[in-house]
Structure 1
């Protein structure tokens, strides 16, 4: 007798034998039991998850005659009557399977539909099963639309596809759609264990776990790999033989790599990668295994309670839990992202193992210098470093924003007046610049004089520091107007002109206060925040507010809904309406006006300061435009 492969020998013949598709089985069983039968079914899902199997079981349920020949429509076909045996054997005349991948034209579909006018010969129903239906041409779909919508009462359509996106919506709307899910590795493992027990084939649990992961959710692929592994192992399945057959990397290498990356041990990483090259393991397979392990680590780090439920019989699960406790969560996420994107770089490099080495060493390049210690020590050391060492790390050679010849020091009161200026609400697009630390003593500068420097901060260039003047003996200096020479390329006079004052109104004050509170609480962000800042409250009703914006790009449904939800959270459950027009009073304009007023006050305070005027008169000093910032 010819050998029958496991995928065909152990194909489910009833709904109760199906695994991993309970949501589909339950719906079909209830429909068959209550006799609520649709005329067209569409089964979608990846390869090997049971689309054709469900179709054949459904055909048997519709045509089963029972062991005594008196049966009816049932959710549990007997499997012994002539109809069930013929459908399992592929010779039932009223059950037709059409492969749309090779019969995709309108002629083949018309030939199938010509049989629809004839009643069943043996069974109760004719069942037309079209596999890979998305491969049909547009004309073929159009030819079957009318029959698919209103078929004879004795005709049922069953469509199957791996790509439902390519099926026209006119077909989708005429069918009941069921999505068969990819099967979890645990489900595949349990089914393989039962199959091999019935076949009396010895198998190691780790070997079956490798096959379950290698099947990638397809039960047919798992059974085919099992057939291959039985032949490779001469009748038995061992972990080493299955790993060699699949070409998968031993997870011991993967655990060694992850542990070395957690310790920051670059030497071990390089040596392990060279060992993978000598053993002939695939670089892509290595990254795949690392991605799977890192995903399990991230889950255990996010949900620590799951670590208590780790399967003690699975050594991989215990090792994953140990590494999850050894690596910080942020490094786990970074390494997962690097491995995921590194697979695309393997084909670009001249040597895939060199690309693998670079992908792994990239984490060490991004790892903080203090991350090699324990988590608690690293956090404390980093905090101390930021607080105590950061001022000393300012670049001493940064270019000065204003080089001013300094006379004998005199008391300065302008800096104190600028520092005491009350803060105003800033525009969301403006951020306060960090205060620059004092510059070190520069050669050629008298002792006690300091040069202002511009610090390149961690997140961008810092604002220029104002000159720091040491006290000098009192001098009688008369205030006098000083003319400041503008540098080349000065700003346009129109831009320096004071803006048109905003006329305050009750709606404007209310909207400014509300938006300021939302921004301060970070209740809105991105486009929703810009919509609130750039808009003017035109009118308020009990349940509707009207806003006006100048730019059409701000009038988006998503931004409006987010702003509307944020207002509802603070007690304003209203519906927002937006119009396009000229805006005279908005929170952004008020913030800009307040910021400009503070800037003018700071500049006027510096220019009118007697000490500054003395330096400008006696030493030909000048104020660098744009270097003043209100405190």
Structure 2
């Protein structure tokens, strides 16, 4: 069973054939994919797992060899391969040279070839996904009592061990706790949380890490050279990035790229194969968005879509580039990674110097929500268009907290300026009401503005004004020459210039109950129910209300409540959200009063006598009546629900 004479540290194929002459490989048994052909055969071949190799080397040298190991990690990092190499190291034996476990596997031992091919009689591999029952584990525990046929240790490799049933895990515990000296267990899993703690506590655990993009690029470059394939560095970076730290996935993509290119493999071939947009065009699209040029952004996205780019992939690439720019701003050395192309490195650093973290963070939030929206949309390209418009109009706007600070300081608010070709939607040609992606920005209770105040806004307001910020500014468009000439009022209840605010309410409101009654009168049943069931009153003053919404309340409840009151009463109402514990809701107060009335009614002697006379009867309601209606009082029996009436 002597193995081939080549050194395992070389990146030659594991079948011993010359990669420069694929015909020999075909004659020997057909083409082998790169992921199998260049499968690691020794600890030196493992990429990115230096910590585990160091631990095993020290354990083997000192004789502290564990009874079981648990290998965990994402798909394709080499769990099963590592298990076979570990089994090889445990049983490595060269007559006259080596007769003890070792991690130095430069030479093939008498058991190595059979172990790496998965056909050694003393190294038993089991797939727990197809052998999940207690009977399969019982076979292992019974066979573990017998010594190995030829090797030093009998090794059981159980892949996807988390798929075992609860009974199978329990059946394995005793043997795993006290195995015979000649038995070793190696488990591999991608779902470590599904493995019982009782099993984990009996194993040495190794978390196989994702392989860094730099190391993946180096591995792919060496294998491409061994296969005599010309491939550009940018193409290798794209493959390593798509592999997401998995060597197997990266080699499979390299295999596919070689077949796709039919010759030298360029970055364009890999992009076409993966359905990726050109990275330079993605950066162009990002720059249009950061300039607030929605028209140019939509045109660029349409061009990419017409060329075959997937809208979800385009938004995902934008999110990835946003993350890269953010990293370059915080950690400038992040651009030195091999997976970052030259265009991304150069232009990303330029953008990192000009964009603030606030803008990058908000863009990331909108893209994160936008990807989910596009995936669920019936027409993804239309949904992607709307996400891009949202980003473009939000690029220059302050967040609500900064807007409030600007208002308090008396400074004018910045407004997203109109861009050539940008769609003008919403009132007065401005951005859609509600602000750019209101769901992704922190909610803030804004002072509500009545309709008469909004009507008094100057007609010279800029076209690209944001209605939400106009409402904060007291009904005037913030920004632009007209806005700059008008100072922001310092007093909260100061009247708008050109409009005399009424000094008295057309509809006097003194409590939340009055507000609920007004909502019912205006036939806004939804708001009436929300006032009664979702608002806990903290403070109520003319023109100002502080509430504590219940957890399930609409985040925009305070702002909507204030706007409605302004429309209905003809004056400005400020509704703010407070963290102070408020009073019970109107509905909770009514229920508490009703419970008290029921308790008082049951304590009445006449009612108590009736309840005692009619077993099973109960008081279900108490109605308060005016004294002049006492003569029309219905019989007591009407208020008593008797489950067992007297005959």
State if a TM-score over 0.5 links the two structures: yes
Report what 1:103 is aligned to.
131
Separation of aligned partners in 1, 2:339 and 2:260: 29
Separation of aligned partners in 1, 2:128 and 2:192: 14
Separation of aligned partners in 2, 1:305 and 1:33: 39
CA RMSD of superposed structures (Å): 3.3
Report what 2:181 is aligned to.
153
Displacement of 1:362 in angstroms is 1.1
Displacement of 1:298 in angstroms is 0.4
Counterpart check, 1:228 vs 2:237:
no
Counterpart check, 1:62 vs 2:118:
no
212 and 262 in structure 1: CA distance in 2 versus 1, 3 angstrom threshold: same
Q: Deviations over 1:549-595 (max 9, x none)?
A: xxxxxxxxxxxxxxxxxxxxxxxxxxxxxxxxxxxxxxxxxxxxxxx
**Secondary structure of 2:99 counterpart:** coil
Report what 2:199 is aligned to.
171
The question of whether the paired residues in 1 share the 8 Å contact of 2:214 and 2:339 is answered with: no
Separation of aligned partners in 2, 1:312 and 1:188: 13
Return the match for 1:279 from 307, 319, 326: 307
Gapped runs of 5+ residues in structure 2? 1-27, 414-446, 454-489, 506-538, 541-578, 582-647
Counterpart check, 1:53 vs 2:49:
no
Report what 1:439 is aligned to.
495
Q: Deviations over 1:445-496 (max 9, x none)?
A: 8xxxx97699xxxxxxxxxxxxxxxxxxxxxxxxxxxxxxxxxxxxxxxx99
Q: What is the correspondence of 1:309-328 to structure 2 with a 5 Å cutoff?
A: 314-328=342-356
The question of whether the paired residues in 2 share the 8 Å contact of 1:301 and 1:325 is answered with: yes
Report what 2:5 is aligned to.
none
26 and 250 in structure 1: CA distance in 2 versus 1, 3 angstrom threshold: same
Report what 1:268 is aligned to.
296
**Secondary structure of 2:36 counterpart:** helix
Report what 1:292 is aligned to.
320
Displacement of 1:100 in angstroms is 0.6
The question of whether the paired residues in 1 share the 8 Å contact of 2:71 and 2:208 is answered with: yes
Separation of aligned partners in 1, 2:257 and 2:93: 40
Counterpart check, 1:252 vs 2:280:
yes
Report what 1:387 is aligned to.
410
Return the match for 2:168 from 127, 140, 165: 140
38 and 262 in structure 1: CA distance in 2 versus 1, 3 angstrom threshold: same
Displacement of 1:276 in angstroms is 2.1
Q: Deviations over 1:194-220 (max 9, x none)?
A: 111222211101111110011111100
Return the match for 1:367 from 374, 395, 399: 395
Displacement of 1:314 in angstroms is 2.6
Q: Deviations over 1:140-191 (max 9, x none)?
A: 1111111011100110000000001111111111111111111222221111
Separation of aligned partners in 1, 2:338 and 2:117: 44
The question of whether the paired residues in 1 share the 8 Å contact of 2:220 and 2:251 is answered with: yes
The question of whether the paired residues in 2 share the 8 Å contact of 1:97 and 1:129 is answered with: yes
Q: Deviations over 1:41-60 (max 9, x none)?
A: 00011111011111111111
Displacement of 1:113 in angstroms is 2.2
**Secondary structure of 2:376 counterpart:** coil
84-93 or 43-52: bigger deviation: 84-93
**Secondary structure of 1:82 counterpart:** coil
Report what 2:634 is aligned to.
none
Displacement of 1:277 in angstroms is 2.1
221 and 452 in structure 1: CA distance in 2 versus 1, 3 angstrom threshold: same
Displacement of 1:16 in angstroms is 1.6
436 and 398 in structure 1: CA distance in 2 versus 1, 3 angstrom threshold: farther
Displacement of 1:249 in angstroms is 1.3
Displacement of 1:66 in angstroms is 2.4
The question of whether the paired residues in 2 share the 8 Å contact of 1:310 and 1:317 is answered with: no
Q: Deviations over 1:480-532 (max 9, x none)?
A: xxxxxxxxxxxxxxx99xxxxxxxxxxxxxxxxxxxxxxxxxxxxxxxx999x
77-86 or 20-29: bigger deviation: 77-86
Separation of aligned partners in 1, 2:448 and 2:181: 84
7 and 436 in structure 1: CA distance in 2 versus 1, 3 angstrom threshold: same
Q: Deviations over 1:594-625 (max 9, x none)?
A: xxxxxxxxxxxxxxxxxxxxxxxxxxxxxxxx
The question of whether the paired residues in 2 share the 8 Å contact of 1:52 and 1:160 is answered with: yes
Separation of aligned partners in 2, 1:266 and 1:144: 62
Separation of aligned partners in 1, 2:339 and 2:119: 46
Separation of aligned partners in 1, 2:103 and 2:336: 40
Count of residues in correspondence between the two structures: 412
The question of whether the paired residues in 2 share the 8 Å contact of 1:436 and 1:453 is answered with: no
**Secondary structure of 2:70 counterpart:** strand
The question of whether the paired residues in 2 share the 8 Å contact of 1:127 and 1:156 is answered with: yes
The question of whether the paired residues in 2 share the 8 Å contact of 1:66 and 1:72 is answered with: no
Separation of aligned partners in 1, 2:350 and 2:310: 26
Report what 2:225 is aligned to.
197
3-12 or 34-43: bigger deviation: 3-12
Report what 2:63 is aligned to.
35
Report what 1:549 is aligned to.
none
Separation of aligned partners in 2, 1:441 and 1:394: 17
Separation of aligned partners in 1, 2:497 and 2:343: 62
TM-score w.r.t. structure 1 length? 0.60
453 and 115 in structure 1: CA distance in 2 versus 1, 3 angstrom threshold: farther
Gapped runs of 5+ residues in structure 1? 372-378, 400-433, 455-494, 497-528, 532-631
Separation of aligned partners in 1, 2:322 and 2:195: 37
The question of whether the paired residues in 1 share the 8 Å contact of 2:214 and 2:337 is answered with: no
The question of whether the paired residues in 1 share the 8 Å contact of 2:329 and 2:352 is answered with: yes
TM-score w.r.t. structure 2 length? 0.59
Displacement of 1:388 in angstroms is 4.8
Q: Deviations over 1:406-463 (max 9, x none)?
A: xxxxxxxxxxxxxxxxxxxxxxxxxxxx8426435778x8xxxx97699xxxxxxxxx
Counterpart check, 1:335 vs 2:335:
no
